[in-house]
């Protein structure tokens, strides 16, 4: 009997199958990582968009609180508060309040969510504005 050295064809084929399965698993993990990285980017941008909205209210705060509270429901004023990027949607309360929540959301079909109460594609900011005296400027 001749002594063999090396691998048999069956051993090589089995190792190729195992390596292929491992590479497919790594590719799936990389894809999921990229999906969450994009969602993290959207989360950061939506925080900036929400903060910009809160900052745009400050110059009109006296008017909103004392002379023209209906300004908050004005379509043009609300349009001026919208995010600059169309991929993000802003949700404001119906009327101005000193303490209010604003929500910025975005669409990401790659992130599958089972529970709507734990959405990963929106942020909510709590704003608290001081009560200004009558006649503020």
Range list of β-strands (E), 41-84: none
Output 3 or 13, whichever has higher pLDDT.
13
Residue 74: inside a domain, yes or no? yes
Q: What is the pLDDT of residues 17-67, one digit of tens each?
A: 999 999 999 999 998 888 778 888 999 999 999 999 999 999 999 999 988
Q: How many domains does the chain have?
A: 1
**Both tokens assigned to 27:** 């590719």
Start-to-end CA span in the chain (Å)? 103
pTM, rounded to two decimals: 0.72
Q: 62 near 31, Cβ under 8 Å?
A: no
Residue 2: inside a domain, yes or no? no
Residue 111: inside a domain, yes or no? yes
């Amino acid at each position: 009997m001749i002594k063999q050295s090396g691998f048999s064809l069956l051993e090589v084929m089995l190792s190729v199958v195992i390596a292929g399965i491992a590479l497919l698993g790594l590719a799936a993990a990389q894809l999921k990582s990229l999906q969450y990285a994009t969602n993290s980017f959207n989360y950061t941008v939506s925080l900036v968009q929400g903060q910009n909205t809160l900052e745009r209210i400050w110059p009109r705060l006296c008017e909103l609180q004392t002379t023209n509270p209906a300004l908050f429901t004005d379509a043009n004023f609300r349009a001026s508060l919208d995010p600059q990027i169309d991929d993000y949607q802003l949700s404001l309360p119906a009327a101005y309040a000193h303490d209010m929540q604003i929500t910025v959301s975005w669409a990401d079909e790659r992130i599958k969510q089972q529970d709507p109460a734990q959405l990963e594609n929106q942020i909510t900011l709590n704003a608290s504005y001081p009560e200004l005296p009558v006649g503020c400027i």
